[in-house]
Amino acid sequence: MANTYFQFKQFIVHQEQTAMKVCTDACLFGAWVANDISSSKNEAQKSINSIVDIGTGTGLLSLMLAQATSMHKSPTKITAIEIEPNAASEAETNFKASPWNDRIEIIHDAVQNFTKTRVEKFDCVITNPPFYEGELQSPDAQKSLASHSTALPWETLINEVKNLLKEEGYYYVLVPALRAYTMQKLAAQNELQLMEEVVVYNAAKQKPFRVFQKYKHSSINNNEIKRSNIIIKNELNEYTQGFKNLLAPYYLHL
């Protein structure tokens, strides 16, 4: 039985009512995005004052980014959107219990409805979107809604991301390795240009299973794409130093 909560260094994620639990790849993705946004070498550091988290689930990504931006001179506002009612309720509980409850807003709705009612644009959009389309859906309605893209096809997601982002805004997304090019192609059709791609491996001798992508909302195509790899475990089945470096601000035992 999965734990009903996940304790991080500066916050706790309750997940008893949420179908999709805290997982390693989501934590790694959140840490990578947070590191990129907060890096002193990153040109976006001073410009990212507003973030939208599409499909927040437990609120994990929003909480990680709230922690990472807590030292910025101007507070970063985070809007977390979640369609599934139990997940939205649990995310709200997690936000209220965090040190950054005044900077995170929970929206219980579909992102398609959100974009119809909000006129402001945002500096950054992050998402760990539903992956599965053709596979047999789970009898658990909550889990199907969270993991299958029938409620939010990628074409719709990309369109909403474009609607939400300011010109020159950033879009970060976690995708299965086998579908990374599909996301890139859909994004390019909507003026979202791939800037960086990180291929994630559980171990060096295994096939990649996840890809992290960073896009910029721009009509100008920049062909210079930064590419790198992250390996989670070494040959001794221990976390690699690269993994530790990213997760050290969050994981209790790193």
What pLDDT does residue 223 have? 73
Cα–Cα distance, 146 to 23 (Å, whole number): 14
CA dihedral sign of residues 111, 116, 118, 119: positive
Q: What is the CATH number of the domain that holds 128?
A: 3.40.50.150
What pLDDT does residue 20 have? 80
Flag whether 10 is in a domain: no
Per residue in 179-227, pLDDT tens? 999 999 999 999 999 999 999 999 999 999 999 999 999 888 877 899 9
Q: What is the pTM of this model?
A: 0.90
Per DSSP, 240 falls in state -
In which residue ranges of the chain is pLDDT below 70?
Answer: 1-2, 40-46, 131-151
What pLDDT does residue 39 have? 77
User: 137 lies in which domain range?
Assistant: 33-247
Flag whether 163 is in a domain: yes
Give, rounded to a whole angstrom, the gap between the first and last alpha carbons of the chain: 24
In Å, what is the CA distance from 183 to each residue of 8, 70, 166, 197? 31, 31, 20, 12
What pLDDT does residue 133 have? 41
State whether residue 167 is helix, strand or coil.
strand
Flag whether 254 is in a domain: no
What pLDDT does residue 149 have? 43
Flag whether 170 is in a domain: yes
Flag whether 64 is in a domain: yes
Beta bridge pairs of residue 201:
231
Closest CA to 235 of 205, 214, 212: 205
Q: How many structural domains comprise the chain? A: 1
Flag whether 230 is in a domain: yes
What pLDDT does residue 134 have? 44
Flag whether 134 is in a domain: yes
What pLDDT does residue 130 have? 82
Task: Please name the helix (run of DSSP H) or strand (run of DSSP E) that holds residue 44, with its range, or none.
Answer: none
Burial profile 161-180: b = 16 or more Cβ within 10 angstroms, e = fewer: bbbbbeeebbbbbbbeeeeb
